[in-house]
Each structure stands twice: as structure tokens, then as C-alpha cells.
Amino acid sequence: MKSIVLIGFMGAGKTTVGQQLAARLRIPLIDTDELIKKETNLSIPKIFELYGESHFRKLESEMLKSVLKQNHVVSTGGGIVELKQNRDFLKQHPYTFFLKTQLTTIFNRLDGDQNRPLWNQPYIKRLELFNKRQVYYEEASNVTIETDQLTVEEIVHNILTHL
């Protein structure tokens, strides 16, 4: 089976859901952010600070391409859909799931978070980013799961019914 890819905004629960899904399927979980950190030996804020967002996007795209063919659960960074080539690539992949989460839930979860450079900016910028990305996630995914009213177990169950 091909990889199962989870996309969605920061704080949507991609990693938490990915962990449970991978355990359930007994396949590895790959987190593109973790791979980038390991490969560069730098934190994500540091990569943004030293090399800029566009460099990070390049690394992210390379990671995505290399992990998609394998039999993994892939938890992506929220901005993986920024590049059109990634959106097209993800759309062609049969198991791309959009974990759709309301902004109020995201705000509650990411309150005080300092590790996400694109969250660490004024409210209006976060809002613009969130709105723009909703369209991108729909464009890149094959299945949308509205997560706000669901437990992690229910989200995992929902994903499994699509495999």
C-alpha cells in the first residue's frame, strides 16, 4: 500500500493522529518537519531565520517526494501546500487526507506557541494564512475530515474506512 499523507493547518493534529494511525496499521510514521530537523541539524525557526521560508519549502518538497512512495504514514508541515507543485503531487496521491480544523480550535491549541514562525505573527496575518490555506488543502487532498467534533480515535477510524 502507498503512504497515507495527512495535511492541514498548524495545530490540526496531524502528528497526534499520525501516531495513532501508524500504530494501528503497524507501519512507520514519518514527520516531514522531523526529517528536515534531522537532516539540517537545525530547528525550524532557525532554518527560517538563517535561510528563509523559500529554502524551507524546498527542503519540504524534497522530503515529500522521497517519502510518498513508501508504505508510511506521513505527517506534513502545515505549509506543504504552499507550492502548487506539491498540491498537484498530493492530489494525484490516492491517500491524501485533509484534517480540517476550525480556527478557534487552532487558537486554543497553539496559544503561546513560539516554535512556529508563521504562527508567531500578528492576528491578521494568521487569519489571512488560514483562509488562503483552506483552499489549498482542498485542492491538494482527496478526502476531507472535519476534526473539531471528533476524538483522535474517531479520526483514525474515519481514515481507515477510506483505505
- Residues placed in the known binding site: 11-16, 33, 57, 78, 116, 133
Q: Which region, judged by CB under 6 A, interacts with ligand S3P, from 64-72, 77-85, 92-100, 152-160?
A: 77-85
Among 87, 93, 100, 116, binds ligand S3P (CB under 6 A): 116
| Pick 114 or 149: Cβ nearer ligand S3P | 114
Binding-site members for Mg(2+) are 15
Burial label for 1, CB within 10 Å (0-12, 13-18, 19+), is: exposed
| Pick 1 or 128: Cβ nearer ligand S3P | 128
Q: Which of residues 5-64 bind ligand S3P (CB under 6 A)?
A: 10, 14, 33, 44
Written as one letter, the residue type at 87 is: R
Query: What are the distances in angstroms from CA 137 to CA 21, 28, 80, 98, 113?
Result: 20, 24, 9, 6, 23
Name the DSSP letter for residue 80.
Answer: G
Q: Minimum distance between the CB of residue 79 and ligand S3P, rounded to whole angstroms? A: 2
Binding-site members for substrate are 33, 57, 78, 133
Among 3, 73, 78, 86, binds ligand S3P (CB under 6 A): 78
Rounded to whole angstroms, the Cα distance separating 72 from 93 reads 13
The three cell numbers locating residue 153: 480515535
Among 3, 30, 72, 79, binds ligand S3P (CB under 6 A): 79
Reported for 150-154, long-range contacts at CB under 8 A and 24+ positions apart, including other chains, are 152/13, 152/16, 152/17, 152/20, 153/20
- Torsion (CA) 59, 64, 70, 73 in degrees, nearest 10: 110
By CB under 6 A, residue 81 contacts ligand S3P: no
Q: Site residues (CB under 6 A) for ligand S3P? A: 10, 14, 33, 44, 77-79, 116-118
